[in-house]
Structure 1
Amino acid sequence: MSDTFSLNRRSFLLSSAMTSAFVAAGLPFSASADEQKQVIASIFGGDYADLMRKIVDDRVMVPEGYEVLQDISTTEARQTKLRTEKMRRQSSFDVAVLADLDMYPMSQIGVLETLDETSIPRLSKIIPALRKSYSAPQLYSYIAILYNPEKITTPPTSYADLWNPAYKGKVGISDVLYTATSAVAALVGGGSMTDFTPGQAKLLELKNEQQAQILPTNESIATAFKSEDIWITLNYVARGYAWQKAGLNIASAVPVEGSIPIAFELCVPKNAPHKDAAFAYINAALEPESQTGFSEAIGYLPSVTDAKLDPELQARIGLSEADQAKLRPMDNAYLMENQSAIFDFWNREFKG
């Protein structure tokens, strides 16, 4: 961790505690000019935090005079803070990252600032299918068809290829991806992102006729690929990229139906204490070099149209402009209303 922008742990905790005490008490907390050049980012830890520090904080924000404080937390902790701090004068952070499915409920309770190109010019470069008013997609991946090219020598072209009888008993399904798999089954069964019901029959076909192996985690999918217990699955292309780097013989294919994306998005609470700094932070995260830095490290794709990947990496994980135009985002409103029913069918009928 670079000393040029981070406080030591004791100082950070003291500073955060003092700020939180003022906020919780509803007392005014006036920031000095120097403090206005500070941004508190509530983000994931591990590789994500290290990459943000390297390619956003150190590369852009610190040279521009900002101090970035990373508030490492879980998705649940961030959502809880957004809910509970809604009525306070100031929130405890300026910008937060959440997956798109987790961000949408936050937008519905009215805690997120509307983002526009006046405050964040780089929003103009976002892939249209990923654009939202309440958050900015920092990076994304998509549900690809992952397969063993030694066992499946003709590359798949459609999500429907998982129902190919030639792969009976060799299809792997990750239990944790039940929403995405239900969405794929809906597309194959004639449904849509606003109607998963036609996909239920396809899921039962996958279970009963294809004898798909339902495995508990993504890690168990990787193990099954390694042992050749499975030859084909659905998963995010970024995960396939990581497995390739780990030595697994896995190829990926883009489905003709249009890929289902998952985006990790940045938001600003309406009561963020350093709102202008938060906008600058998001703008920095959307710069081409910030975007490609994540792609090269962890296989997530740029959310902006002017970030160009190395040709070899583009061939492994990228989408053409035509495929970007065919992205099929899940409908967050539909999922929010029907998530319990989708989960219930998955557990009782598909897995049961």
Structure 2
Amino acid sequence: MSLSKHLIASVAAVSSAGMAHATESLNVSAYGGSWGDALASCIFTPFESETGIAIKLEPSASTVTLSKLQAEASAPVMDVAWMDGGVSELARDSGVVAAIDPAMAPGLSGVANQAKYMTEGGDIYAVGNGYFAVGIVYNTEEITTPPTSWEDLWNPDYAGRVILPSAVNSIGVPVFAAFNSLAGGTLEDLAPGVEKMSALEAALFFDSSGVANSGFQTGEGVIGAHYATQAFTMADGGLPIAYAIPEEGAMASDIRIHIVKGTDDLEAAHQLVDFAVQPAQAGCLAAALQVGPATEGVDLPADVAARMPWGPNGSIDDLAVADWSSINAHRDQLNEAWSRIATSQ
């Protein structure tokens, strides 16, 4: 073989090898239902169109996603995973998520500092993709004066008609932690919260949002701690339902993006992270799910801005974001106490 032919063959071999290793798809674990639909329309489908990289989606709840990542840790199947705050910290602690390199996802420079979650060593292990909140949801035909405080749930007029999240629901434990704090308790002392809850008669404790929505629709409950997104959905459906932000602050968390540790497609995974936090994608999710953008400078229409978890003129700073590390450290005790309260009513 001549030198020139040898060089041509070598170049062809290198080119062919590069093509063989080009990323054709990413395995992504994210939410199902309306949340999964919104992620698909706002992020996954346009990402596929822009990059040519197919998204192979596995719909899953956050806790199920974490269990799968832990089970597959030695041979990861997923490349990128969306999980809620709280579960995100558990994923960090179990070592199943990789560091996200800002140099490989330059869009992170536009994300609020609060939404870049760091390990003790200073690496980013998760990035916020939208804030949701739990405030006071109420029936405007039954309650004509808008509630202003969590303490309003203890109004005797609402006894037996209060709807609350159970310990199974992702926000249930933070709700109890907040009520315990209102009563003067701490995470080391839950007795004040247990005593306070004994004075509140609940209509139901919901595992899923659909159960809570049904309780409001049938009139079983007229007020409660529920998601803002669900309140707006019910109102859009013609129900006399409104959402109020208590003066103590709406309890908030967020959906977060993670790169799975051990992925073979690290560069493409960073591409997806970078794409997901762009203003256009953040604005799309805000409109579709009423989640507050973690990306800064997103220009929202007035009707969308009015439905943000922090209110039409607020910001991330107005949210009472759960201290998940502290809550997770006491999760067993909180779960047990909240579950005992729910089953006793």
Q: Same fold (TM over 0.5)?
A: yes
Structure 1 letter corresponding to 2:218: S
Structure 2 letter corresponding to 1:82: L
What residue number does 1:69 align with?
56
Higher gyration radius (CA)? 2
Structure 2 letter corresponding to 1:117: P
Distance 2:285 2:142 in 1: 31
Instruction: Find 1:328's aligned residue among 320, 326, 343.
Output: 320
Aligned length, in residue pairs: 317
Q: Does 1:43 pair with 2:30? A: yes
Structure 1 letter corresponding to 2:183: G
Structure 2 letter corresponding to 1:247: G
Question: Could you report, residue by residue, the CA deviation over 1:67-116 in whole angstroms, capped at 9, with x for unpaired residues?
Answer: 3322344545532332233334xx21210111112221110022211224
Output aligned runs, 1:113-128, within 5 Å. Answer: 113-128=98-113
What residue number does 2:41 align with?
54
Structure 1 letter corresponding to 2:283: T
Distance 1:255 1:261 in 2: 12
Distance 2:106 2:179 in 1: 38
Q: Give, in angstroms, the shift of residue 185 of structure 1.
A: 0.7
Question: Is 41-50 or 141-150 further displaced after alignment?
Answer: 41-50
Q: Give, in angstroms, the shift of residue 138 of structure 1.
A: 1.5
Contact 1:171 1:212 (8 Å CA) reproduced: yes
What residue number does 1:300 align with?
291
Q: Give, in angstroms, the shift of residue 126 of structure 1.
A: 2.9
Q: Does 1:214 pair with 2:204? A: yes
Q: Does 1:169 pair with 2:156? A: no
Query: Aligned residues: percent identity?
Result: 24
What residue number does 1:78 align with?
65
What residue number does 1:342 align with?
334
What residue number does 2:90 align with?
105
Question: Could you report, residue by residue, the CA deviation over 1:250-280 in whole angstroms, capped at 9, with x for unpaired residues?
Answer: 1111122122212111101221111111111
Distance 2:267 2:301 in 1: 33
Q: 1:95 to 1:142 in 2, by over 3 A?
A: same
Q: Give, in angstroms, the shift of residue 323 of structure 1.
A: 4.9
Structure 2 letter corresponding to 1:180: P
Question: Is 237-246 or 61-70 further displaced after alignment?
Answer: 61-70
Q: 1:172 to 1:50 in 2, by over 3 A?
A: closer
Distance 2:214 2:290 in 1: 20
Output aligned runs, 1:148-227, within 5 Å. Answer: 148-175=139-166, 176-177=168-169, 178-191=172-185, 198-206=192-200, 211-217=201-207, 218-227=209-218
Q: 1:31 to 1:347 in 2, by over 3 A?
A: farther
Structure 1's unaligned 5+ residue stretches are 1-29
What residue number does 2:6 align with?
none
Question: Is 71-80 or 240-249 further displaced after alignment?
Answer: 71-80
Structure 2 letter corresponding to 1:261: A
Output aligned runs, 1:222-301, within 5 Å. Answer: 222-301=213-292
Structure 2's unaligned 5+ residue stretches are 1-16, 119-124
Question: Could you report, residue by residue, the CA deviation over 1:21-56 in whole angstroms, capped at 9, with x for unpaired residues?
Answer: xxxxxxxxx974663353222223343343333322
* TM-score of the pair, normalised by structure 1: 0.80
Distance 2:176 2:191 in 1: 9
Q: Give, in angstroms, the shift of residue 246 of structure 1.
A: 2.4
* TM-score of the pair, normalised by structure 2: 0.81
> What is the CA RMSD across the aligned residues, in angstroms?
2.7
Distance 1:73 1:349 in 2: 29
Q: 1:63 to 1:221 in 2, by over 3 A?
A: closer
